[in-house]
Amino acid sequence: MSTIALSIIIRELRARPVMAPLARPITTSSVSIPAAPLVLIDLVCNHGITGQAYVFAYTKAALRPLVEMIGGLSDLVQGEEIAPLALAQKLDSAFCLLGKQGLLGMALSGLDMALWDVLGKAANASVARLLGANHDPIKSYDSHGLFNPDTSPEHLERSLELGFKAVKIKIGGASLQSDIDAVRSVRSIIGPDVRLMVDYNQSLTVPEAVRRIRYLEQFDLYWVEEPVRAEDLQGHADVRSASSVAIQTGENWWFSRGAAHAYSVGASDFSMLDIMKIGGFSGWVQAAALAEAASSPVSSHLFIEASTHAMAATTNRDMVEHLDVAGAVLTEPYQVSDGKLAPRGPGLGISWDEQEVEKHQV
């Protein structure tokens, strides 16, 4: 009898905070993140199976509260059988008065990812296989921060060497002219045949976004991402209606209801689902179905290990965002081949490098 045919019971839920080193800092128009604040999740079950996943706290200040939030779920799931959808429904009812945004939403999504990792390990199969997908490589784009004339050219050349056919940079840190200069420089480095996307990280007003995008149209942009505040869905729709460049948003949609609200107002041409905010794999499947119904191609946000599995099972997928935030604490980081990423197993295909975890734990 296979392990997955047995009853797999949750024994313990653990969470540990680390500051994982990054190959290059994550720089946006408002912040710089030199190391990744992560919470590592271990879901200990019977039969010797431990599910593993991580969540990204964005700031070190959120690490301890997020650890506490994940720990607070322990009493609700301890002794429960591994059944991601059933547990998602139970926790949805438990927190209906509080709401599933912020730290709680991140904790619930991280737990869901760990649950699916347990199922995959029990079946000796990847999560992608459990979702009905194969392991074919998926096209990816390399995600960069704000353009820096001293370091970015070398990093962009490295992206091309790795076979990426698409790259993204962040802009909006200063004037329109600085945006133009940055995009022009990147386009000159990558050439005309590589897709180029820009991310404003919510830094503009609607009128200013419309104005700046008109000046950037000349550079053949594939999309402009989050030009205005993420929660301003109507603002995104307004920018979209005035722009000849496709608008991308979605990384800050909370669970499938957030996606449904965005589609109801036509907020974007593309969808960027964040598996930590959309509800883990269970929420992703629901949101991806809504995206397909809305004819909105799906890309992922961060979490290359989990996102690659989710994207493999997304029929209207576009590209996986390549931004490795956890590789420094993994025994075998995910590797890019010819600008593509492929899911691996069992489960998510990850395990912690405990020596590195101990070195970077906070």
237 and 264 Cβ atoms separated by less than 8 Å:
no
Q: How many CB atoms lie within 10 A of CB 161?
A: 8
The token duo for 260 is: 């449904």
Judge whether 90 counts as a catalytic residue.
no
- Closest by CA to 302, choosing from 341, 331, 268, is 341
| Active-site choice (139, 170, 236, 360) | 170
Query: Between β-strands 270-273 and 10-27, what pairing exists: parallel, antiparallel or unpaired?
Result: unpaired
**Catalytic residue chosen out of the listed positions 165, 277, 301, 322:** 301
What is the C-alpha to C-alpha distance for residues 74 and 316, in angstroms, rounded to an integer?
Answer: 35
Contact 21, 360 (CB under 8 A): yes
**Can 170 be counted among the known catalytic residues?**
yes
Q: Pick the closest to residue 303 from 350, 254, 233, 353 (CA basis).
A: 350
Other residues' Cβ atoms within 10 Å of the Cβ of residue 68:
12
Q: How far is CA 317 from CA 59, 163, 256, 264, 283, in A?
A: 29, 19, 17, 20, 16
Alpha-carbon span 48 to 180, nearest angstrom: 55
Nearest to 141 by CA among 352, 341, 357, 350: 341
Token duo for residue 307: 């996102």
User: Distances in Å between the alpha carbon of 143 and those of 1, 184, 278?
Assistant: 44, 17, 20
Give the C-alpha separation, 338 to 137, whole Å.
Answer: 9
Q: What is the DSSP letter of 89?
A: H
Specify the amino acid at residue 27: T
Cα Dmax for the chain: 65
Q: Using CA atoms, how far apart are residues 192 and 220, in angstroms rounded to an integer?
A: 8
Tell me the catalytic residues.
Answer: 170, 301
